[in-house]
Structure formats: C-alpha cells, structure tokens
Amino acid sequence: MIRFIALTVLALAVAVPAAPALAEDDLARQLISSCVGCRLPKDLHGRDLHGLRFVGSDLRDVDLTHANLRDAEFTGSNLDGTRFDDADLRNARFTGVRLRRTSFARANVEGVRFVGASVGQGDVDGAAGRIILRDCTGCSLKGLDMHDADLRGSRLVGASLNDAKLAGARLNDARLVGVSARDADLSRTDLRGANLIGASLRNARLSGATIGDAVLCAENHGSYYRDGAEPRTVCADLRGVDLHGLDLRAARYCTSNDRENRDDRDNASSRTCRTVTRQELVEFAHADLTGAQAPA
C-alpha cells in the first residue's frame, strides 16, 4: 500500500505542469530513491535524477530523454524499451540490468559501465551495441552474432561469449580477461594487442585470426599479495583450438611492475612484457601447436 501511494504521488508530481520544475524534481528524486522494485511513470523526460539509485526498478518503455542521470546507478532494473536519448549518463553504472530495445541515441555516455547485463541481439547491433560493448563486465553475450563488429579497445572482462559469432571482428587492444568464449567463432578476427589472460577459448574457431602481440599469458600476483604464496602463470585456455597456420611468435607474456596496483583495467606503464615461450603455451595454455608458427 505504501509503495502504491508513493507511486501515485510520483505520477502526479511528474504530470502536473503547474508545480515549479525544481520542486517536481525534488519530489521525484525523493520518491525514486526510496522505492525498490517500483514501476516508474513512463514520462520522466528532462528530469534531474543525477546520482540516484534505481534498484529493481521497472523502467520498461520509460521516456528519460534529456534527463540528467549523471552518476546514477541502475541495479537489477528492467530497461526494455527505455529511451535515454540525449540524456546525460556520464559515469552511470548499469548492474544486472535487462537491455532490450534500449535507446541511447545522442546520449553523453562518457564513463558509462555495464556489469552483468543481459543483452539481446537487437541491442548489439548499431549505436546501442557500440555503447554497451565498450565497457561490459560479466555481461551475457552468449550466442550473439557480432561478426565483422568493430570492438577495438572494448572492455569485456569476464563476459560470456560462448557460441558467439565474431568472425572477422576487430578486437585490437580489447580487454578480454577471463571471458568464456567456448565454441565461439573467432575466425579471421584481429586480436593484435588484445589481453586474453584467463580467457577460455576451448574449441573456439580461430582459423585465419591475427594474433600479433596479444597478451596470452601473465604472472598472477593475486595470492602472492594476500598469503605470501609464490606468483603463478595464468594463460588463455587454448584446449581444443586448431592453431594451424596461426602466427604466435609475437604473442606476449606480461608481469606487473606495481604490486600495489589492484585496478583491473589495463595499465601499460605498470607492465613488463616479453615474448611468450613455446613451453608456456603448451604447459599453461594447453595449446596444441601443431602447424602453428610458434615462438622458441
């Protein structure tokens, strides 16, 4: 009953044009911030909602065009058909959200991050896909068709790419740490400069791919910091991958120079890299190097 009353008041607040705009925004902010799992009014365009936390909110088909959503957090929200056109989304965070037919046309998306989002095929195509895939940690992209996509510099840490169709995609300098890309089609992809540490590529198709100087192995200091245990080597998992014809001679093994740097983003200045060895690829990446141009 309390939630129903709150939503009724909110609907009235955003619908009555006679009230001062600032008073309307203040009332809307108070009610939204105190309402978990609420179905919000469909017309919130132009509202000042910066810094708010939308927890479990039902935002299906809600109009948030021109809204100020800077530093806002959307957690477990349903964003099917939500319109963020021309909105200020700087440094907004979308965690565990559902994205279907969501529009970000002309929005300011500087610093936007998606974590654990569920993304549909229609949302990886076009402008929305370029925004979502630029920084999508732990997102579900299983089975999606992204062939020939421009994903240069994308950050897809821990994402599910199982069975995804990425043939011909440009993944230069992409951060693919810990992704699961089992049975994915990565044929003809450009992986130069990509970071594939801990990525599972089991049975993925890599025919015609350009590996270049991709980071395939690294020294992991995680347990070293906490327990005093020795650092260990972590590589991409290449079990079941046909590497015939691929040139792995420039692939890299990297170590960190800064043991206090816990940031999971790439920091080139804090790393020392060298060419990965054949032994490391066989022992730690479980690679079958038959027919591949492998390092010494």
**Segments of the chain with pLDDT less than 70:** 1-25, 221-229, 257-270
Compute CA 91 distance to the chain's CA centroid, rounded to the nearest angstrom: 14
So what's the pLDDT on residue 225?
A: 47
pLDDT tens track for 171-210: 999 999 999 999 999 999 999 999 999 999 999 999 999 9
Residue range 77-118, pLDDT digits in tens: 999 999 999 999 999 999 999 888 899 999 999 999 999 998
Domains in the chain, CATH or no CATH each: 141-296 (2.160.20.80)
Q: E strands of the chain, at which residues?
A: 53-55, 73-75, 93-95, 98-99, 113-115, 118-119, 136-137, 215-220, 232-235, 252-256, 271-275
Which pLDDT does position 162 carry in this prediction?
96
Contact by Cβ (8 Å): 178, 213: no
Query: What pTM, to 2 d.p., does this model score?
Result: 0.80
